């Protein structure tokens, strides 16, 4: 009886966590659209914006990370940190997607075509 009761609460908590992540995944899938460009932030400060339609390779943050933009997708091709997790995060192209480099406190966020103005004000 005691065991069954515990199981009930366990299922509620674990199921709740899984459900919550499923809802959040669905939400971010539904709200994502085609990206217009990327915003590069270092320490939360916006340092640069690049359009996703202009192909190019850019050195970010004084050369700690290298950003590549090609055919509407952006990715980091090089990082000076030991784990290079940001490079492994791969390509981003949809509105709201982020690449984060924690050691260099750098983020690359995709913004959508409608969102860009709102973002400028905030």
Partner 1 sequence: MKASKLSILSLSVSLAMILSFVESQIPPLVAIPGVKMGLANIAVVFALYKMGWKYAAVISGVRVFLVGLLFGSAVSLLYSTAGAVVSFLCMVLLKKTGRFSYTAVSVAGGVMHNMGQIAMACILMSTNILKYYAPFLILSGTLAGIVIGLLSAVLVKRINVKV
Question: Which position among 68, 73, 89, 93 is part of the footprint of partner 1 (CB under 8 A)?
Answer: 89
In the bound state with partner 1, the residue whose beta carbon lies nearer, of 22 and 120, is: 22
Q: Check residue 24 for interaction with partner 1 (CB under 8 A).
A: yes
Q: Are 115 and 95 in contact (CB under 8 A)?
A: yes
Taking contact as CB under 8 A, which single stretch among the options 21-29, 49-57, 58-66, 67-75 is the one that binds partner 1?
21-29
In the bound state with partner 1, the residue whose beta carbon lies nearer, of 5 and 54, is: 5
**By the criterion CB under 8 A, which residues form the site for partner 1?**
5-7, 9-10, 13-14, 17-18, 20-22, 24-25, 28, 41, 43-45, 83, 85, 88-90, 96-98, 100, 102-103, 105, 107, 109
């Amino acid at each position: 009886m005691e065991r069954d009761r515990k199981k009930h609460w366990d299922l509620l908590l674990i199921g709740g966590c899984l459900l919550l992540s499923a809802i959040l995944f669905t939400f971010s899938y539904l709200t994502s659209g085609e990206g217009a460009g990327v915003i590069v932030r270092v320490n939360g400060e916006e340092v640069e914006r690049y359009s996703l339609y202009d192909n190019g390779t850019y050195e970010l943050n004084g050369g700690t990370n290298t950003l590549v933009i090609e055919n509407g997708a952006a990715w980091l091709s090089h990082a000076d940190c030991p784990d290079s997790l940001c490079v492994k995060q791969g390509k981003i192209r949809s509105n709201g997607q982020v690449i984060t480099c924690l050691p260099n406190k750098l983020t690359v966020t995709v913004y959508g075509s409608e969102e860009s103005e709102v973002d400028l004000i905030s």
